[in-house]
C-alpha cells in the first residue's frame, strides 16, 4: 500500500510545477532582432519596439522609475576583454550625478558574463543600475541595462536575473 503522505506531496509538487509553467508572462521575440528572453511578470511593458533600422528594445516595470530595461548589442573583436568593455561603459556613466561604482559579479545563464552594479542620483532620488554583460561569441556582447530607484530595482533583482538568464540568440 502506498504512503498517503507521499501521494499528497507528489500531487502538491505537480500542481506547483504546473502553476510555475503557466505563471510565465511570455517570451520576447521579434523578427527585427536576433535574440529572445522571457519576461517573468505581466508588469513588464515594452516602450521601444525594435525595427530593422534600430534593433534596440526597451521595457519598463510598472513605471520607468521602478525599473527600465534597455537591450543593446556591442560589437567587439575576438581579442577584446570583457573587463575592458565594462570599463568603456563605466566611463560613460561616471558623469551621472552622485555616481558610485559598485561591485562586479560573475553571471551564468544561457550565456556567461559579468554584472556591473552602480548607484547615482536623479531628480533627488537614489537610483541604481545593474548592467548584465553577456558574452555571445567572438563578435558581440549584449548588455541588458536595468536602471531604477535603488530600493525598487533591488526588490526585483530575481526578475532582472531571470530575464538575463533566459536571454539567448535565436537558432539558425
Q: Is the pLDDT of residue 7 over 70?
A: no
| Contacts of 78-83 spanning 24+ positions with Cβ under 8 A | 78/138, 78/139, 82/113, 82/114, 82/133, 82/135, 82/141, 83/114
Task: Indicate the domain borders of the chain.
Answer: 24-169
- Within 13 A of 111's CA, how many CA atoms are on the CB side? 24
CATH topology of domain 24-169: Protein Transport Mog1p; Chain A (3.40.1000)
pLDDT at position 41, please? 96
Global confidence as pTM: 0.83
For residue 144, how far is the Cα from the chain centroid? 5
- Average pLDDT, stretch 26-52? 95
- Average pLDDT, stretch 60-67? 94
* pLDDT digits 0-9 by tens, 136-164: 888 899 999 999 999 999 999 999 999 99
pLDDT at position 138, please? 80
Return the ∠ at Cα 132 (arms to 30 and 107), rounded to 5°. 115
Q: Is the pLDDT of residue 20 over 60?
A: no
Amino acid at each position: 500500500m502506498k504512503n498517503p503522505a507521499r501521494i499528497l506531496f507528489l500531487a502538491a509538487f505537480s500542481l506547483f510545477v504546473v502553476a510555475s509553467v503557466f505563471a510565465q508572462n511570455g517570451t520576447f521575440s521579434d523578427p527585427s532582432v536576433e535574440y529572445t528572453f522571457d519576461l517573468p511578470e505581466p508588469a513588464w511593458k515594452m516602450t521601444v519596439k525594435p525595427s530593422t533600422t534600430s534593433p534596440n528594445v526597451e521595457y519598463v516595470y510598472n513605471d520607468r522609475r521602478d525599473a527600465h530595461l534597455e537591450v543593446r548589442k556591442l560589437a567587439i573583436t575576438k581579442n577584446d576583454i570583457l573587463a575592458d568593455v565594462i570599463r568603456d561603459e563605466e566611463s560613460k556613466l561616471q558623469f551621472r550625478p552622485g555616481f558610485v561604482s559598485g561591485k562586479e559579479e560573475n553571471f551564468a545563464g544561457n550565456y556567461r558574463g559579468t554584472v556591473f552594479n552602480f548607484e547615482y542620483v536623479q531628480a533627488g532620488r537614489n537610483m541604481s543600475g545593474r548592467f548584465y554583460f553577456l558574452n555571445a561569441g567572438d563578435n558581440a556582447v549584449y548588455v541588458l541595462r536595468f536602471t531604477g530607484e535603488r530600493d525598487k530595482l533591488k526588490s526585483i533583482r530575481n526578475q532582472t536575473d531571470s530575464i538575463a538568464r533566459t536571454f539567448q540568440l535565436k537558432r539558425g
